[in-house]
Amino acid sequence: MRTEELRTAVMRVMDEKAPPAAKLQAVCDLLRIEGERYDWAGYYLVDPHREERLVLGPFSGAPTEHTSIAFGEGICGQAAGTLKVFVVDDVTAESNYLSCSPSVKSEFVAPVLMKGVLVGELDIDSHTKAAFTKEDAAFLQWVADITAPAVAGAAGLGE
């Protein structure tokens, strides 16, 4: 599916009446199955029980050993610590990177903010180098923004 079709499909999921984690799971499945070059799609949530840590939330794709990540650690931890979007064209060139699988070649991570406060992040891995175009980045940022209330809800930080 192209990003315009994906947008419509994501909006449909977010309009459904379902628990926040179920909506995020459906979005992850949609992105991984229908998105071109998106081979793993998941949310990390701000851990309400541990200071400055992320905990793995709903995801679609191969299971990862990185279920808890400290701020500053790996691409995800850096995105959480700096509140910056990371588009990594070649993960092998990164020194601060947590590998989930040798098949992963590039990665996109966007912090998810609710009323200016970090509640989690959207993480997409690709088996293609430099998979994330400007169009992908804009689309995925939109996904991060539109899913923010559900991410806050899933993290137990209030929807």
Binding site for ligand SME (CB under 6 A): 40, 42, 64, 66, 69, 74-77, 97-98, 100, 107, 123, 125
CA distance 144 to 94: 23
CA distance 114 to 149: 7
Q: What are phi and psi of 61, to 5 degrees?
A: 130, -170
User: In terms of Cα–Cα distance, which of 27, 5, 4 is closest to 146?
Assistant: 27
CA distance 57 to 51: 17
Q: How far is the CB of 61 from ligand SME (least distance, A)?
A: 8
Q: How far is the CB of 69 from ligand SME (least distance, A)?
A: 6
In the bound state with ligand SME, the residue whose beta carbon lies nearer, of 102 and 116, is: 102
CA distance 54 to 76: 8
In the bound state with ligand SME, the residue whose beta carbon lies nearer, of 7 and 127, is: 127
DSSP state of 5: H
Q: How far is the CB of 152 from ligand SME (least distance, A)?
A: 21
In the bound state with ligand SME, the residue whose beta carbon lies nearer, of 47 and 107, is: 107
In the bound state with ligand SME, the residue whose beta carbon lies nearer, of 18 and 21, is: 21
Q: How far is the CB of 10 from ligand SME (least distance, A)?
A: 20
- Residue carrying structure tokens 């229908």: 34
Closest chain position to ligand SME (CB): 74
